[in-house]
Structure 1
Amino acid sequence: MMLQSLTTLLALGSMASAAPTSMAAARKLLVGGPGQILLANFDGSSFEITGKNQTAGTAPSWMRYKNSTDTLYAVDENSASLNLFTLGLTGKPDLKYTSTVTGSSGVVFLEFNKAQTRMVGAAYGSAMIDVWDVSGDVPKIFKQIPVDGTLGPGQTAHHPHQALLDPTGRFMIIPDLGGDQLLVLDTKDDKYEITSRQALFKGAGPRHGGFITHEKKTFYTVACELSNKVILFEISYTDTGLAFKEISTQSTYGAAFPPANATSAAAGTVVVANNNVDVYISNRLSGNATDSIAHFVFDAQKTSLAFANTVSSGGILPRDMSLSNDGKVMFVANQGGDNGLVALHRCGTTGNLAPKPLAMKALKELVAPGLEGQANAGPQFVQEI
């Protein structure tokens, strides 16, 4: 699907509250959601929309930015399109559509290899793993890998949901929600093959994970959407893959904060802070007035992951969240509820997220034209760039 008619709309938005600081001091954010990509500034107390690219029917729910070429790669989970943009960040923000290439349908996550010459896409919608050659100006399919194996209870297809590069830069772990398994993709010598896999308990439904490193040890924690469990593994390296040793399995809500509606509840994304101690998990569709973000603390001495506390996400369906580049702010993208974008202060000492937001942007101000009043039309992706 070529987007020759795609129009880039660049317009300055209005601040939600306090007067803006200088442009140089503002954090620049990339926001994706149904029908649009937004550029935003965050000055510490408010959000300002500085650029828009709107295309009806698309869903740029995940993006990767290659700053060496100013190239932005955006999935469209509603189709088989990988859309390319140039994104200039010096001076006035500039977002321009350049081209579209075709891969597998329903890709929801993109990950670079260490050299940023290959990019892996997890195609939730078609049970495929796309490997792109992104060494040139136009991406080319390098390899496509079908996901197979036994399906989980009630599942009709495999659903790879993420591809995350490990700390060595060699392997990627791909959670398969439909198959209750973790796939290990080996990138060595450009072979990109699934060389090992870890079965999870039936009905786990793994979605997103994160790596934790301590001294010479590597750990991996994964949030499971279907069971609302977070599993901690210790990872050991073999000649061809990864071996998983399960350390613990517990609720993504902690023991004292169960969801109001356990049937609909669905764990979302995982963020591991740079200190390799603080782990954050978004809990969605909890049945509460707003959804939540749970904070867990990794203890290297005890080799444990302990629930610490939870705070409101400020909205409903926090599909994505990410820490600022300096780790001081957690940005949350809510698909529903009152607030689509939320900024929470993170304590550098305890890792706790402050319950009172630094800033919120109303969801109704973040919905693409034609989607007003529709459910779950708010932001699905947010990241500082």
Structure 2
Amino acid sequence: MRATPSFLDFYLPAPLRPFAFASLHSVERFLDIMRWQHLPLGGLVASSVAVNLYVSSYVGNITTLSLCQDANGNYSLTAISANNGSSPSPTWLEKDKYNGIIYGLDEGLTTPNGSITAYKTSASGELTQIDQHVTLGGPVSSIVYNGGKGIALAHYGGSALSSWTILQSGGLTLLQNFQFTLSAPGTDPDRQDAPHPHEALVDPTDQFIVVPDLGADYIRVFSIDPQTSVLTERTSFSTPPGSGPRHGAFFVNPNNNNTTYFFLVTELGNTVSSYEVSYDVKNNLGFTEVSTSGIYGNKSTPIGAAAAEGILSPDNKYFLTSCRNDSTFTIPNFDPTNSTSIQSDSLQSWEIDPRTGKLAFVQLAPAGGSFPRQFSVSKDGTLAAVGMQESARVVIVERDVEDGRFGRFVAEVDVPGEVTSVIWDE
């Protein structure tokens, strides 16, 4: 059990602390000149905040973490339960907001097929399996759609999209399988040897599923039948050759006649783009580019970097992203007995122009370790839970909801195996 005191508590005299925060918004700037410390948390005085998080890792576990905050404002993060054996290589967790069920995907790294498992949650953090099905290979993302009647899975390794009917019990039945092919390898033949759908998302009207396809340089579009949840494939949108679209998010702009935008992270191109979305009469979506930037903003992209996650902040003011394998930061060790610094990949924050949907780079911040494959944000937006795949760690990072910046690390815990997904149970 560990926690991180504020770096201001260590490096500034007490009379100066009230005036320091405004000038230390940038974590990266502060780390260039000072070194924060990570000290063990004492006994919890009285828990004022407690929330569960669920973590998947390639070791085969879905681990439940408890994040607590004591009366003094200090956080602790501890593992309280582990569900293992049902999924040998868990890759994605999705909480259904309609029924509270957790759907877990298994990528099937050691088998020809993947799987999807449905779990009931509990206040204790224990997960109870209620259903499981074999799927096409390589599922890496899922999204609940059609008002909770269906769930769609993106299959990276299986070059496919599948759809499933959600039963009243929370269990599933297979609805459709779509399998994709390429006539020839893409611009990056090592990564674009075949279609590789990397995420499934539902648009704000709940009428369409979109699928960024890293291998084919497409945003694939499917319309939803509201009566049956059946998907119909529409015309795909082509992204720049070799860009490798990975993850994204929709944004509805209330300041511009509720215009819809789609923000896209590309893994191979390491870009962040904004597109204005149009709904045409042929029951399809159109995408018009608004802005595109390298994922490091005004800084050059490190060799070997691989952009990963892209999510919207809860207040719809910021687009938040992550990048792996950049080792941009050197940070103090989380173990207070170890003085050896560790390398950290990065998180990025982008401000959304409320008039145009354009994205403006705000911050490059340390993620807390190696390969921040996925992260999620608390309901109030003040905390981000970052899954560090190669560091086998989950880190909790503060966020300033006003300026959109990531701040100090407030808690962390090691999780066995390569962490692939972490979500909040709020």
TM bin (shorter chain): 0.7 to 0.9
Kept in 2: contact 1:322–1:383 (CA 8 A): yes
Distance 1:123 1:360, change over 3 A: same
Distance 1:46 1:310, change over 3 A: same
1:228 aligns with 2:270: yes
Distance 1:21 1:324, change over 3 A: farther
CA distance in 2, matches of 1:68, 1:277: 25
For 1:253, the equivalent position in structure 2 comes to 296
For 2:177, the equivalent position in structure 1 comes to 144
For 2:9, the equivalent position in structure 1 comes to none
After TM superposition, give the deviation of residue 303 of structure 1 in Å.
3.9
After TM superposition, give the deviation of residue 140 of structure 1 in Å.
1.3
In the alignment, structure 2 segments of 5+ residues that lack a partner are: 4-39, 70-74, 329-342
1:358 to 410, 413, 416: 410
Kept in 1: contact 2:266–2:272 (CA 8 A): yes
Helix, strand or coil: the match of 1:330?
strand
1:286 aligns with 2:344: no
TM-score (norm 2): 0.78
Kept in 1: contact 2:87–2:106 (CA 8 A): no
Helix, strand or coil: the match of 2:379?
coil
5 Å-filtered alignment, 1:276-315, equals 276-288=316-328, 289-315=343-369
Helix, strand or coil: the match of 2:389?
strand
CA distance in 1, matches of 2:83, 2:410: 26
2:401 to 348, 352, 365: 348
CA distance in 2, matches of 1:21, 1:327: 25
CA distance in 1, matches of 2:315, 2:102: 28
CA distance in 2, matches of 1:32, 1:351: 27
For 1:3, the equivalent position in structure 2 comes to none
After TM superposition, give the deviation of residue 32 of structure 1 in Å.
0.7
For 1:27, the equivalent position in structure 2 comes to 51
CA distance in 2, matches of 1:93, 1:246: 43
The 10-residue stretch of structure 1 (129-138 or 231-240) with the greater mean CA deviation from structure 2 = 129-138
Q: Deviations over 1:61-82 (max 9, x none)?
A: 1122336655322111024343
For 1:370, the equivalent position in structure 2 comes to none
After TM superposition, give the deviation of residue 160 of structure 1 in Å.
0.4
5 Å-filtered alignment, 1:107-146, equals 107-137=139-169, 138-146=171-179
5 Å-filtered alignment, 1:1-385, equals 17-20=41-44, 25-34=49-58, 35-44=60-69, 45-55=75-85, 58-66=88-96, 69=99, 71-78=101-108, 79=111, 80-90=113-123, 92-137=124-169, 138-148=171-181, 151-153=185-187, 154=189, 155-189=192-226, 190-215=229-254, 216-239=258-281, 240-256=283-299, 258-260=300-302, 262=303, 264-288=304-328, 289-337=343-391, 340-354=393-407, 356-361=408-413, 365-367=414-416, 377-385=417-425
Distance 1:72 1:254, change over 3 A: same
Instruction: Specify the code of the residue in structure 2 equivalent to 1:191.
Output: V
Kept in 1: contact 2:253–2:357 (CA 8 A): no
After TM superposition, give the deviation of residue 14 of structure 1 in Å.
9.1
Instruction: Specify the code of the residue in structure 2 equivalent to 1:135.
Output: L
Kept in 1: contact 2:327–2:370 (CA 8 A): no
Would you say how many aligned residue pairs link Structure 1 and Structure 2?
Answer: 355
Distance 1:14 1:84, change over 3 A: farther
Instruction: Specify the code of the residue in structure 1 equivalent to 2:102.
Output: L
Q: Deviations over 1:21-65 (max 9, x none)?
A: 766721211111111101111114120111101229712111223
For 2:11, the equivalent position in structure 1 comes to none
Instruction: Specify the code of the residue in structure 2 equivalent to 1:127.
Output: S
Kept in 2: contact 1:259–1:287 (CA 8 A): no
CA distance in 1, matches of 2:379, 2:409: 18
The 10-residue stretch of structure 1 (286-295 or 126-135) with the greater mean CA deviation from structure 2 = 286-295
CA distance in 1, matches of 2:139, 2:322: 21
Q: Deviations over 1:133-184 (max 9, x none)?
A: 1124441110111124565211211000111111111111100000001011
Distance 1:99 1:297, change over 3 A: same
Instruction: Specify the code of the residue in structure 1 equivalent to 2:398.
Output: H
The 10-residue stretch of structure 1 (143-152 or 19-28) with the greater mean CA deviation from structure 2 = 19-28
Distance 1:139 1:303, change over 3 A: closer
Instruction: Specify the code of the residue in structure 2 equivalent to 1:358.
Output: V
CA distance in 1, matches of 2:359, 2:95: 31
Kept in 2: contact 1:21–1:43 (CA 8 A): no
CA distance in 2, matches of 1:315, 1:183: 33
Larger Rg: 1 or 2?
2
Instruction: Point out which structure has higher relative CO (alpha carbons under 8 A, 6+ apart).
Output: 2
TM-score (norm 1): 0.86
CA distance in 1, matches of 2:380, 2:374: 18
CA distance in 2, matches of 1:103, 1:63: 15
